[in-house]
Amino acid sequence: MTQQRGSGFVALLTAVNCFFAFPSAAAMDIPLEVEQLPTITAQSPGAVIALPSEESFAVTCEAKGNPEPEFRWTKNGQEFDPSLDPLLRTEENSGTFVIPNNGNLTEYQGTYRCFAFNKLGTAVSQEIGFMVPKIPKFPKEGFDPFEVEEGQPFILKCDPPKGIPPLQIYWMTMYLQHIEQDDRVSMGLNGDLYFSHVEEKDSRRDYCCFAAFPKIRTIVQKSAMSVVVTTRKSESPDGANSILQRKPSLLTPPGVRSEAVLVKGEDLKLECIAEGIPTPKVEWEKMGHGRPEKFRLENHGKVLVVPGDEQDVGGKYMCKAKNPLGEVVHYFTVTVEEPPEFLVEPQSQLSMIGADVVIKCSVSGSPQPITTWSVNGVPLQETLSANRKIFDDTIIIQNGQPSDSAVYQCEASNKHGKILTNANVMIMNLYPIILTSDGQEYSAVEDQGVMMHCKVFSSPPSTIFWSKDDSSELVTGPRFTVHDNGSLEIHTIEKGDTGQYTCLAKNLEGTSAIDAMLYVKDPTKIVAPPQDQSILIGTDAQLSCLVEFDESFRGDFELLWQKDDEEISPNNTEHSRYFLEEGVLHIVNVSHRDQGEYRCVAKTPVDSDAASARLIVLDVPDAPQSVVLSERKNRSVKLRWIPGEDHNSSITEFVIEFEENKWQPGSWRDLQRVPGNHNSAVLDLHGHVGYRFRVYAVNAVGAGPPSKPTERYLTPPAAPDKNPENIKIEGHLPHEMDINWEPLSPIEHNGPGLEYKVSYRRQDVEDEWKEHTVKRHSFVVRNTPTFVPYEIKIQAKNHQGWGPEPKMVTGYSGEDFPSAAPDDVAVEVMNSSVVKVTWKQVPKDKLHGHLGGYRVNWWRMRSLLHSKQSQGERHTAAFPGSRSHGTVSGLVPFSEYSLIVMSFNGRGNGPGSKAVNFKTPEGVPEKIPVFRVADVQKRSISMAWTPPLEPNGILTGYLLEYQLINDTEEAGPLQTVNISKPDTTRWHLRDLEPLSKYRFQLRSCTSMGCGSVVSLESTTLETSLASVHTGISSQGWFIGLMSAIALLTLVVLIACFVNRNKGGKYSVKEKEDLHPDVESQGINDDTFCEYSDNDEKPLKGSQHSLSGGLKAEDSGDSLVDYGDEDAQFNEDGSFIGEYAAKKEKRASAEIKATAQTPA
């Protein structure tokens, strides 16, 4: 702090941007470095109650001042020194003393007042009462029984002892059971028990009044009182008991009018308790206002309570008690009084020498309080001062001098209380004292504001000036404000505001100044706030918060996370559910309690930024609650439930499950599904079932847990509700018809004794219904004509009766083999491997069943390269449906084939057509099987190969291509060699680059083109290595070894080929193909898939036999029975697949040469 600045600098301080710094009287804060009057800082409340449970009792009085205050006490108006009593504990520089609870407290009971003083004056505390409560007791007394005639009013007196309020009164029995209270019997505000009229049941010997004093934790009991109710004798001749009715009268309050005094702020309680027969009802009214705006009735309407905060509580009130015989009224006049209260409270103030000082103390209250003034604890009239004047509630000190400095006390009292206040009046002249520390540093953020403090104490008031960077110019402008307390506020800070600022305070006694440094920082900003998320329960959530802040705050920056305004304390331990990693809050294994609003708070010492995101936890719904049954009927019941919490995903449906205790006890099955916005459903039930039900909810997350099951509900037996379904009519044999159906489930029986009635008749002729009753779910009709239509009905029945009228279905009796072969079979060659086969369809009357389709069998007879015929593998293709053409593919080019066509139905294949022979044209050869390097030289390579196994025509030669492919991105030019001699199997290439890598490609060719490429790669060698290689390859032993290996390989291939064709060459082969034995084959070929007439191509890769695996008696109704498991369709929709037996021997055995005859 610097005082007495240079006169040149002071001269520049004009009235611009300055301010007179002087604390207001209401908040005078004189630094303790300056001499000042005592001020009481702490004191005990108005009353200290010595509760027995406390160890000690502190009577508090603390004060501040300069010089440091001393303390003295008065007790009941007399001087009292706590330090002289060895039992009391005192502390140095404190006015507080402690009274120990040593059992002798009554001698300290009284009214205390504390005086804190120094050489300048004296401050006075409020009066402090120390109260030692006595243990309240009921007097020991005995009571004779109270005899009361039945129907008469009666009052049991409580008369509780006095004690420290509050007081609570209870009427109970000796066994601590509350006396029942109602309109007739009730307790008054004074604790007495009032009976509007007694009844015989009021007789008892243990009416006890209990008085409770909660503050001293004491309950006392009055001696038990006995009440005997005597029976009233009637004046009638028969002497019967009779209670006369009477109009109301008041038991309390007495008379017609009464007055009540209410202290302001307390609740008004008015009471009217009446007697009469019947028991009177009490009504309340505020005269001229009806009922008060805020009120409540207590004690069965006998007590009116108006809250203390109600306006205009005072006035006239009326209570009216009435019954059918009459009414009685009472009027209350309520006067509201109040304890003393300051309207204008004297304020401490600091004045300069020679100024006038005004002290005002204005008080209100009812009755009007008495106000007294004191100076330094001495009554004002006992002190003399020539310059002090008193005008009513105001003291004026004219031309105040330092000697007039004092503590003025204003005290006001009436019968409801007493208040006192101290006003410190200091009169002095003092140079500016700047209370703010010199050299403070402030940091602020650009575009925000900052407040730099300069708190000054002086007398007379000081003028405050602010400048920057030792400049003679003052800080001015719309962004700068100097506040009343001397602080400089800068609005909307800019980077250029960084620098050193000086605060200078000046009055007539001198000047003082301090410096402050301001640093302008970059603002803290959340650039990537957390985003709202919906997360599945049990998974992990991540909330990111990316922040930019001033680098100078690197060590002071904090990133905090809050959930629902409560701070999260993440730690990175193994078992923590929250942990932070590079600004990302990880929440592990999210649960329901993690749902809420998460707030990211980025803080530096000067600013902060925050952003919030909502985390919603998704889960399956909770189980429905309160699942109950209603509207119970024989075959239905209504189920109601209360949906559980949906956990932020709307319930889409409720699933009702049932469990029955007869067929599948303990197994819960779905019964019904209802939309998610329903909470009830009517359930259709089966008869003779003991049901239990439960419900679970489904949302987008999944299915929730089920509710608790209902009680079991038993339905009575009933006739079946339905008949069997999925009736199948099959004919496995020509003269039988098998009827099968899906039986009713056990729960669908609806009662015991379930049976099925099977009814059938021919459809194509006039026929009577034939009926059979069975318990199983199948029936066989025998001795039927072959393949004729029937009408069938199946009806369920139990002991309760028949099911509904059944639906009629149509089926056919058993099928037989087709008896005719297709005619006019022709073959059209499409290309070297595909032919189109056409035929004339078999007449319907020759099919003897449902047409399954047509089957084409073909086999290769020979290659056109050779004249010798050999029986090849058999192939089969099925064309489902009513077809007259089909396409056969996968043929070997340049070959001769033979084929036959036959129809088939559910029983099996019909006879085959006459064989048709055809030839396929040339095609391109197959891939060369062996292609190798025979010899490698420095500039040449020899290659050898074997001809293709299937040339598919007459070979015309080979096409050899090669190119340099050293490990570079670009390959060399492609070189081509046409080898025109078809019997060539070796070729030698010259003029190659040494130590170079080449790729060779070879294809065999016919007149239709060249086949697939076979390739290899090889690298030329250096001279030395090449010579060694050449030497080995030219040795005789090496050539002999290679020849032996080639010969051995050829022998193995010939043996395999012979074995492969063994067993298929019988002399009757062609006859077997043309006339297969119908009776032995059954459904021998693999079955077909669905029919498509978009293409006639046969099954690709078909097998080599007409044989199959189905027996003659197997059913043929289903298309599945005609199709291979691996059957498929071409892209254009045509049917492809393989139809053949697994072994050739089986195929040949099933083909017979005899002509087929009808069965």
Q: What is the DSSP string of 1017-1074?
A: EEE---HHHHHHHHHHHT-HHHHHHHHHHHHHHHHHHHHHHHHHHTT---TTHHHHHH
Average pLDDT over residues 994-1020: 92
pLDDT band at residue 821 under the 50/70/90 scheme: very high
The pLDDT of residue 348 is 93
CA-to-CA separations, 710 to 625, 626, 639, 707, in angstroms, rounded: 11, 9, 9, 9
Per the listing, tokens 């008896």 go with: 819
The pLDDT of residue 312 is 82
Residue 1110: pLDDT above 70? no
- State the DSSP code for 279: P
Where are the strands (E) in 469-607, listed by range? 480-482, 488-490, 499-507, 510-521, 525-528, 533-536, 541-544, 546-548, 558-563, 566-568, 578-581, 584-587, 596-603
Judged by average pLDDT, the poorest of 304-318, 497-511, 694-708 is: 304-318
Give the tokens for residue 966. Answer: 């050293």
Q: Within 13 Å and on the Cβ side, how many CA atoms surround 1072?
A: 20
Q: What are phi and psi of 665, to 5 degrees?
A: -60, 140
pLDDT band at residue 575 under the 50/70/90 scheme: low
The pLDDT of residue 581 is 85
The pLDDT of residue 289 is 78
Query: What pLDDT, in 10s, does the model give residues 46-95?
Result: 889 888 888 999 999 999 999 999 999 999 999 999 999 999 999 989 99
Residue 158: pLDDT above 80? yes
pLDDT band at residue 447 under the 50/70/90 scheme: confident
The pLDDT of residue 1124 is 37
Euclidean distance between CA atoms 177 and 489, whole angstroms: 71
Judged by average pLDDT, the poorest of 206-210, 579-583, 919-923 is: 579-583
The pLDDT of residue 28 is 67
Euclidean distance between CA atoms 1157 and 911, whole angstroms: 9
Query: What pLDDT, in 10s, does the model give residues 360-402?
Result: 999 999 999 999 999 999 999 888 888 999 988 999 999 999 9
Euclidean distance between CA atoms 381 and 373, whole angstroms: 8
Going along the chain from its start, the domains and CATH numbers come out as: 2-23+430-521 (2.60.40.10), 31-131 (2.60.40.10), 145-233 (2.60.40.10), 244-337 (2.60.40.10), 361-425 (2.60.40.10), 525-618 (2.60.40.10), 625-714 (2.60.40.10), 725-812 (2.60.40.10), 823-912+1086-1149 (2.60.40.10), 931-1034 (2.60.40.10)
Query: What pLDDT, in 10s, does the model give residues 408-424?
Result: 999 999 999 999 999 99
CB 961 within 8 A of CB 974: yes
Number of H helices, E strands in the chain: 6, 90
Between 1115 and 757, where is the model more confident?
757
Euclidean distance between CA atoms 108 and 49, whole angstroms: 12
Amino acid (1-letter code) at residue 159: D
Average pLDDT over residues 756-781: 92
The pLDDT of residue 936 is 93
Omega within 30 of 0 (cis) for the link into 947: no
Q: What residues have CB less than 8 Å from 276, skipping those under 6 apart?
A: 196, 197, 246, 247, 248, 249, 321, 323, 325
Between 1115 and 101, where is the model more confident?
101
Omega within 30 of 0 (cis) for the link into 278: yes
pLDDT band at residue 29 under the 50/70/90 scheme: confident
CB 215 within 8 A of CB 131: no
- Neighbouring-strand partners of residue 876: 857
The pLDDT of residue 31 is 87
The pLDDT of residue 187 is 96
Strands 193-195 and 349-351: unpaired
Euclidean distance between CA atoms 227 and 185, whole angstroms: 14
Query: Which strands make up the sheet holding 653-660, listed edge to edge?
Result: 669-675, 653-660, 690-698, 713-714
Residue 845: other Cβ atoms inside 10 A: 8
Letter string b/e over residues 395-429, b meaning 16 or more CB atoms within 10 A of that residue's CB? bebeebeeebbbbbbbbbbbebebbbbbbbbbbbe
pLDDT band at residue 295 under the 50/70/90 scheme: confident
Average pLDDT over residues 90-119: 92
Residue 504: pLDDT above 80? yes
The pLDDT of residue 1037 is 61
Strands 510-521 and 480-482: unpaired
Euclidean distance between CA atoms 942 and 814, whole angstroms: 71
Residue 217: pLDDT above 50? yes
Per the listing, tokens 């909330």 go with: 543
Residue 1087: pLDDT above 60? no
pLDDT band at residue 339 under the 50/70/90 scheme: very high
CB 1066 within 8 A of CB 1111: no
CB 989 within 8 A of CB 975: no
How does the average pLDDT of the chain come out, rounded?
85
Average pLDDT over residues 770-799: 93
Euclidean distance between CA atoms 637 and 682, whole angstroms: 6
**CA-based nearest residue to 698, from 671, 719, 673, 722:** 673
Average pLDDT over residues 17-44: 68
Between 242 and 975, where is the model more confident?
975
Q: Report how far apart the first and last C-alpha atoms of the chain are (Å, whole number).
A: 134
**DSSP-derived secondary structure for 959-1003:** EEEEEE--SSSS--PPEEEEE--TT--EEEE-SPPTT-EEEEEEE
The pLDDT of residue 969 is 65
- Neighbouring-strand partners of residue 639: 629, 681
Helix or strand run (H / E) with residue 642: strand 636-642
The pLDDT of residue 968 is 67
CA-to-CA separations, 53 to 106, 137, 166, 168, in angstroms, rounded: 16, 19, 18, 20
pLDDT band at residue 955 under the 50/70/90 scheme: very high
Query: What pLDDT, in 10s, does the model give residues 1135-1148?
Result: 333 333 333 333 33
Residue 453: pLDDT above 80? yes
Euclidean distance between CA atoms 1 and 762, whole angstroms: 127
